[in-house]
Amino acid sequence: MSTVPGWDGPPPLAVVVDLDDTLYPQAAYLAAAAAAVGTAAGAAGLDGDAVHAALVAELAAGSDAGGTIDRALLAAGVPAGALARLVPPLVAAFTACAPERLDPYPGVREALAALAGAVPVGCLTDGNPAIQAAKLAATGLGPLLTAVLVTDTLGGRAARKPAPQGLLALAARLGVPADRVLVIGDRPGKDVAVAAAVGARAIRVRQGEYAAAPDVPAPWAATGSFPEAAELALAVAARAVAV
Ligand SMILES: [Mg+2]
């Protein structure tokens, strides 16, 4: 990455990163959680392999739709009338899945450390707070972050990105105005859009489940990896030090 896109106006004072598919490949977590559900389904007297396979297919069709376990059970031939009894323990198995280790994408740890040496770095992530905390712990990246905010703690799914309240609250915790934050994330409709919602800018990282999604809304810059994004962020944040 040799050229830095133009940056007019005051430089960023903090960086906010997304978690899933930005710092580590979410597919690794979903595979572990689907396996845990398959095991629990087997323990409940179902065909665990069939439930596992159906859940993998449902997650591949979209991992944040909600109701994935219900649909997987139906696809595996479970009668609709049995869902009310079977779904809660399987959802619990999914939620309780806490992989010991989730490897970050290559170079993420070093890039995050470099950012954290220059500006406050926060993490803004959507999802079940217990699950998101377990994922972050498994990456080992938590100590490099100044603050972490799971949007669901502010009001459930309604508070998820691109709703602005999560980024507003996290910027306050980082001690900077929200429009002076630079967001780095993989999803245009969430990470780039939440930045726009508070008058901030974003770098999109083209990787993970949404790697092929169109640039809508348009980011300030797009890169193929988190380390490249961090390098850009450092380049523009350094202007704040120099000015
Ligand atoms: Mg993401």
Q: What's the gap in Å between 235 CA and the centre of ligand 1? A: 23
Global pTM value: 0.91
Q: Is 95 exposed, middle or buried (0-12, 13-18, 19+ CB in 10 A)?
A: middle
Q: What's the gap in Å between 139 CA and the centre of ligand 1? A: 14
- pLDDT score, position 66: 78
Dihedral (Cα; 70, 71, 72, 76), 10-degree rounding:
100
Length of the chain: 243
Q: What's the gap in Å between 20 CA and the centre of ligand 1? A: 4
Q: What's the gap in Å between 191 CA and the centre of ligand 1? A: 8
Q: What's the gap in Å between 243 CA and the centre of ligand 1? A: 32
Residues with CB under 5 A from ligand 1 (ion): 18, 20-21, 186
Q: What's the gap in Å between 151 CA and the centre of ligand 1? A: 13
Q: What's the gap in Å between 23 CA and the centre of ligand 1? A: 8
- Measure the CA–CA gap between 226 and 28, rounded to whole angstroms: 17
What CATH number was assigned to the domain covering residues 14-24+103-242?
3.40.50.1000
Q: What's the gap in Å between 184 CA and the centre of ligand 1? A: 9
Per-residue pLDDT tens listing for the chain (243 residues) = 446 788 988 999 999 999 999 999 999 999 999 999 999 999 999 999 999 999 999 998 887 777 999 999 999 999 999 999 999 999 999 989 989 999 999 999 999 999 999 999 999 999 999 999 999 999 999 999 999 999 999 999 999 999 999 999 999 999 999 999 999 999 999 999 999 999 999 999 999 999 999 999 999 999 999 999 999 999 999 776 554
| Amino acid code (one letter) for 202 | A
Q: What's the gap in Å between 19 CA and the centre of ligand 1? A: 6
Which residue is listed with tokens 């995050």? 112
Rg (CA), the chain: 19
Given a contact cutoff of 8 angstroms between Cβ atoms, the answer to whether 64 and 75 are in contact is no
Given a contact cutoff of 8 angstroms between Cβ atoms, the answer to whether 125 and 153 are in contact is no
Q: What's the gap in Å between 209 CA and the centre of ligand 1? A: 8
Q: What's the gap in Å between 111 CA and the centre of ligand 1? A: 17
- pLDDT score, position 60: 87
- pLDDT score, position 202: 98
Domains of the chain, by residue range, sit at 14-24+103-242, 27-96
Given a contact cutoff of 8 angstroms between Cβ atoms, the answer to whether 186 and 211 are in contact is yes
Q: What's the gap in Å between 52 CA and the centre of ligand 1? A: 24
Q: What's the gap in Å between 109 CA and the centre of ligand 1? A: 17
